[in-house]
């Protein structure tokens, strides 16, 4: 037999089967119990806050707080994943490791198009990450300056990163919680603006070059919710009816509307130095128990795409997954809406998710109480979405259930004006006493016909109502998928255009 034939035989008998095994192993990684099929989760180990979210060269970068040695929180690294469509993600090697200055806590990344930092070389545009160095030794010693802001940069489209030799670039003035820098370019004054979480408020800094920072102002000491430390802020403009408004996102833990972690926001004006809110009301971007640390992608123009961590610090280390722990929400597009002379922030599933739609069933307008809406949807789709419009918004209950009798109930009580998610019988709930309680959210607008949207994955529910003015996210751990859906309304004539759509797994599974 010739050497060429021996080589071909080796390919077919030895190499190709192992390639197939590796590919099958990839798919198998994402088939474990509770594994999200339409949300980003790491192949293994612990994940929390999204970090460094930036769009560059037709690629969305998602960095995240990551501990590669366990499924509980530990010394933080920056994990890394990329996507060209906001739906399918490729997990890459760890981008940033802890070093002598500390763990790598949360932060952001920017495209330094004009090379203001001087970190670009040979005409290459630098991506610059701005993050918090958290020194555990200083924390153990009881000091109050163990969190400082540092830089890293990439000259190969975000694949590899080099830490700046002059770190840290912003030293702690003596504030225990001094972290989570979100940086943006303020074109009007040709400077960078850093929005930084500083214990119980936000502090704004500016810089011409990302290296030298000057304090501009503070916001929030006596405004908003203060049940816990302010964390993971974001500042960006959005237009409403041709007018620019500024949105300031502030994550808080604890102190959320349903306990534990949550994301509040303010609308107002920003002049390059100071943020001025329209009013002093406390508002929540997501009222559910399981959206936290959410921020937006940078460098996406006028479009603002939001992503949050889908968990809650009350039980994030205890949820009953084995190889991995926690995931991200679906990407959401943010917009402003005027309601009763108020400017409110609305959320909607990003349009890119439509690419996962495999089959849509438009249901009869007269859906009967007790009818299983999923009965005619191929059971291969374990993840799906339900969409409908309700006329006059009667009280309703949507019940998701499985063959084990476990249920999630999403509803609206027209007497109290509250939406709710009840996961008391949703599956495994005994890992934390606070997990099973019902979460509530107010209705903020009352159109004659309003929309509701539900996105159901293996271990989560995301609910959007009234044009996304009320949003609720909740994780759940059923022993089997919810393959039954029932809706109960006051009058069958009140439901309009109901539909259910099967969603294809982003991992190649059904």
What phi and psi values does residue 187 have, to the nearest 5 degrees?
-65, -35
pLDDT for the residue 12: 34
What domains are there in the chain, each with its CATH number?
34-349 (2.115.10.20), 352-503 (2.60.120.560)
How far is C-alpha 224 from the geometric centre of its chain's CA atoms? 21
The reported pLDDT for the residue numbered 259 is 95
Report the catalytic residues: 49
pLDDT at residue 449, rounded to an integer: 86
Q: Which residues contact 403 (CB under 8 A, 6 or more apart)?
A: 480, 483
Instruction: Identify the bridge partners of residue 280 per DSSP, sorted by sequence position.
Output: none
Digitized pLDDT (tens) for each residue of the chain, 510 residues in all: 444 443 333 333 333 333 333 333 466 889 999 999 999 999 999 999 999 999 999 999 999 999 999 999 999 999 999 999 999 999 999 999 999 999 999 999 999 999 999 999 999 999 999 999 999 999 999 999 999 999 999 999 999 999 999 999 999 999 999 999 999 999 999 999 999 999 999 999 999 999 999 999 999 999 999 999 999 999 999 999 999 999 999 999 999 999 999 999 999 999 999 999 999 999 999 999 999 999 999 999 999 999 999 999 999 999 999 999 999 999 999 999 999 999 999 999 999 999 999 878 777 665 666 678 887 776 667 899 999 988 877 788 999 999 999 999 999 998 999 999 999 999 999 999 999 999 999 999 988 888 999 999 999 999 999 999 999 999 999 999 999 998 877 666 677 888 889 999 999 865
Which helix (DSSP H) or strand (DSSP E) does residue 25 occupy? helix 16-29
355 Cβ contact partners less than 8 Å away, ≥ 6 residues apart: 85, 87
Contact 489, 369 (CB under 8 A): yes
**231 vs 106: CA distance, rounded Å:** 9
**pLDDT of 38:** 97
> Please, which residues bridge with residue 470 across strands?
465
- pLDDT at position 365: 60
pTM of structure: 0.93
The whole-angstrom separation of Cα 483 and Cα 505 is 16
């Amino acid at each position: 037999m010739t050497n060429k034939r021996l080589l071909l035989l080796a390919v077919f008998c030895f190499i190709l089967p192992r390639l197939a095994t590796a590919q099958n192993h990839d798919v198998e990684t994402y088939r474990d119990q509770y594994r999200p099929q339409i949300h980003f989760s790491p192949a293994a180990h612990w994940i929390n806050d999204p970090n460094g979210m930036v769009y560059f060269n037709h690629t969305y970068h998602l960095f995240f707080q990551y501990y590669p040695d366990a499924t509980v929180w530990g010394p933080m690294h920056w994990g890394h994943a990329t996507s060209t469509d906001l739906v399918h993600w490729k997990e890459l090697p760890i981008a940033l490791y802890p070093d002598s200055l500390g763990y790598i806590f949360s932060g952001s990344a920017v495209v330094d198009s004009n090379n203001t930092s001087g970190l670009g070389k040979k005409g290459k545009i630098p991506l610059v990450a701005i993050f918090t160095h958290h020194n555990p030794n200083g924390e153990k010693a009881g000091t109050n300056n163990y969190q400082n802001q540092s830089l890293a940069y990439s000259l190969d489209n975000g694949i590899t990163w080099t830490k700046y030799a002059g770190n840290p670039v912003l030293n702690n003035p003596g504030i225990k919680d001094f972290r989570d820098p979100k940086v943006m370019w303020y074109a009007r004054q040709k400077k960078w603006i850093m929005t930084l979480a500083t214990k119980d408020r936000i502090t704004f800094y500016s810089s011409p070059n990302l290296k030298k920072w000057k304090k501009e102002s503070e916001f929030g000491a006596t405004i908003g919710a203060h049940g816990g430390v302010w964390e993971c802020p974001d500042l960006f403009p959005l237009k409403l009816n041709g007018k620019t408004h500024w949105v300031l996102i502030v994550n808080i833990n604890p102190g959320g509307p349903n306990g534990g972690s949550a994301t509040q926001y303010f609308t107002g004006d920003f002049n390059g130095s100071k943020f001025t809110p329209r009013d002093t009301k406390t508002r929540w971007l997501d009222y559910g128990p399981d959206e936290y640390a959410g921020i937006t992608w940078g460098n996406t123009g006028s479009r603002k795409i939001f992503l949050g961590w889908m968990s809650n610090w009350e039980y994030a280390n205890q949820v009953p997954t084995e190889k991995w722990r926690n995931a991200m929400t679906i990407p959401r597009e943010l917009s402003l809406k005027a309601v009763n002379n108020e400017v409110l922030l609305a959320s909607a599933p990003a349009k890119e998710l439509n690419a996962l739609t495999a089959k849509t069933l438009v249901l009869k307008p007269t859906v009967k109480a007790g009818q299983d809406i999923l009965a005619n949807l191929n059971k291969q789709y374990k993840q799906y979405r339900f969409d409908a419009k309700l006329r006059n918004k009667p009280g309703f209950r949507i019940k998701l259930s499985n063959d084990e009798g476990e249920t999630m109930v999403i509803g609206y009580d027209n007497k109290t004006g509250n939406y709710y998610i009840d996961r008391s019988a949703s599956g495994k709930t005994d890992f934390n006493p606070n997990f099973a309680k019902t979460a509530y959210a107010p209705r903020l607008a009352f159109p004659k016909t309003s929309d509701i949207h539900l996105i159901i994955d293996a271990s989560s529910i995301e609910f959007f109502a009234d044009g996304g003015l009320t949003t609720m996210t909740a994780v759940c751990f059923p022993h089997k998928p919810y393959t039954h859906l029932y809706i109960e309304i006051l009058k069958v004539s009140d439901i309009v255009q109901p539909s259910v759509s099967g969603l294809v797994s982003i991992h190649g599974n059904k």
